[in-house]
């Protein structure tokens, strides 16, 4: 299987899970120019990141090109226990998507 | 060349996998095709962006929201931003950068059990006020911080 573009680390402490994830993505705003050709580099950025745990949507983030290249995202939620699964997926403006699943520590 | 091929394969695989997941009913279509607020992300000034996101641009300043951002960002392409909201029932957190060409950077819709805490990295074109807007119990609260940028990170 192709290597996922998402890296997730989730830790549970006293029922509260803290999730950190890194996504490898160019996050082009569409405003940058290719220095050699002088042409605009077409926009390509993640529009939406969805995080689910135990069948519930924990967080749904809507982004545009303002988010940095290779985005980092961290958030926390309660009611989690060690060993629970967490699923992160993203969709970009060109329709590409990826998702990954991890087990919380 | 080889790398391009990798990317292509990866893309095809991902698209294929999603297709299968949908047809098998594993993913709800809502999660895949949730409406991306195009108007909000295309708005050219901060108030219009808030108007499009929340239906109102009047916010109350609140000390219960903490916005952690550097005083001076050396590199505008990567500015770490952390928002912590102590307001009970925080539903939505938005990050707005007033002087960017597209002010609305991100909107985080939080689930019922999710803490009022998000951390991410954003791009900033020039020195600007960064505002965190929190929606809780139908009301809007905000807090801002000025971040000085030495090298811009949007185009150029």
**DSSP-assigned letters across all residues of B4-47:** HHHHHHHHHHHHHHHHHHHHTT-S-HHHHHPPP-HHHHH-SSHH
Task: Indicate whether B24 and B91 sit together in one domain.
Answer: no
Is B66 among the domain residues?
yes
Task: Indicate whether B71 and B122 sit together in one domain.
Answer: yes
Please indicate if any CB of chain B lies within 8 Å of the CB of A47: yes
pLDDT of residue B21: 44
Residue B26 belongs to what domain range?
1-34
Task: Indicate whether B69 and B13 sit together in one domain.
Answer: no
Task: Indicate whether B2 and B13 sit together in one domain.
Answer: yes
Task: Indicate whether B21 and B85 sit together in one domain.
Answer: no
pLDDT of residue B18: 46
Task: Indicate whether B86 and B108 sit together in one domain.
Answer: yes
Give chain B positions within 8 Å (CB) of A48.
Answer: 34, 36
| Minimum distance, in Å, between the CA of residue A24 and any CA atom of chain B | 12
**pLDDT tens readout for residues B58-112:** 778 888 888 888 888 888 888 888 998 888 888 888 888 888 878 888 888 888 8
What residue has token string 């905000």? B142
Domains and CATH numbers, chain A: 6-103 (2.60.40.10)
This complex has an ipTM of: 0.82
Beta carbons of B53 and A61 less than 8 angstroms apart: no
Give chain B positions within 8 Å (CB) of A60.
Answer: 34, 108-109
**pLDDT tens readout for residues B104-148:** 888 888 888 888 888 998 888 888 888 888 888 888 888 888 888
pLDDT surpasses 70 at B7: no
Q: What is the CATH number of the domain that holds B137?
A: 2.60.40.2470
Global pTM reads 0.75
Task: Indicate whether B140 and B74 sit together in one domain.
Answer: yes
Is B89 among the domain residues?
yes
Is B42 among the domain residues?
yes
In this prediction, residues A5-29 reach a mean pLDDT of: 86
Instruction: Check residues B123 and B41 and name the one with the higher pLDDT.
Output: B123
Q: CA nearest A24: which of A72, A88, A59?
A: A72
pLDDT of residue B63: 80
For residue A15, what are the contacts with CB-CB under 8 A and spacing of at least 6? Answer: A78, A79, A80, A81
Chain B contact residues (CB < 8 Å to A)? 6, 9-11, 13-15, 18, 31-32, 34, 36-37, 41, 77-80, 82, 97, 100-102, 104-111, 113-115, 117-123, 153-156
Task: Indicate whether B78 and B27 sit together in one domain.
Answer: no
Is B64 among the domain residues?
yes
Q: Up-side HSE of residue A77: CA atoms within 13 Å toward CB?
A: 26
Structural domain count, chain B:
2
The span from the CA of A4 to the CA of B98, in Å, is 34
- Cβ–Cβ of A50/B123 closer than 8 Å? no
- Alpha-carbon torsion, ordered B119, A45, A85, A80, to 10 deg: 30
pLDDT of residue B17: 46
**Pairing, β A56-63 against β A46-53:** antiparallel
Q: Residue B9: closest CA among chain A residues belongs to which residue?
A: A2
pLDDT band for position B32 (cuts 50, 70, 90): very low
Is B156 among the domain residues?
no
Task: Indicate whether B77 and B29 sit together in one domain.
Answer: no
pLDDT of residue B156: 44
């Amino acid at each position: 299987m192709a290597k996922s573009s998402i890296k997730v680390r989730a830790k549970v402490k006293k029922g509260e899970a803290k999730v950190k994830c890194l996504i490898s993505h160019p996050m082009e705003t569409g405003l940058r120019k290719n220095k050699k050709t002088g042409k605009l580099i077409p926009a390509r950025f993640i529009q939406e990141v969805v995080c689910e745990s135990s069948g519930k949507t924990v967080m749904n983030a809507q982004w545009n090109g303002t988010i940095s290249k290779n985005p980092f995202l961290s958030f926390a939620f309660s009611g989690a226990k060690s060993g629970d699964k967490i699923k992160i997926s993203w969709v970009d403006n060109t329709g590409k998507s990826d998702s990954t699943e991890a087990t919380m520590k | 060349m080889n790398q391009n091929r990798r990317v292509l394969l990866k893309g095809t695989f991902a698209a294929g996998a999603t297709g299968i997941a949908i047809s098998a009913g594993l993913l709800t279509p809502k999660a895949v095709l949730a409406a991306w607020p195009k108007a909000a992300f295309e708005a050219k000034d901060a108030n219009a962006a808030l108007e499009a996101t929340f239906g109102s641009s009047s916010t109350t300043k609140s000390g219960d929201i903490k916005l952690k951002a550097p005083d001076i960002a050396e590199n505008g392409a990567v500015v770490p931003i952390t928002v912590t909201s102590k307001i009970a029932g925080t539903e939505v957190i938005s990050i707005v950068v007033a002087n960017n060409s597209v002010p609305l950077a991100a909107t985080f819709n939080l689930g019922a059990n999710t803490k009022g805490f998000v951390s991410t990295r954003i791009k900033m074109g020039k020195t600007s006020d960064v505002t965190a807007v929190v929606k809780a119990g139908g009301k809007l609260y905000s807090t801002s911080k000025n971040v000085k940028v030495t090298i811009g990170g949007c185009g150029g």
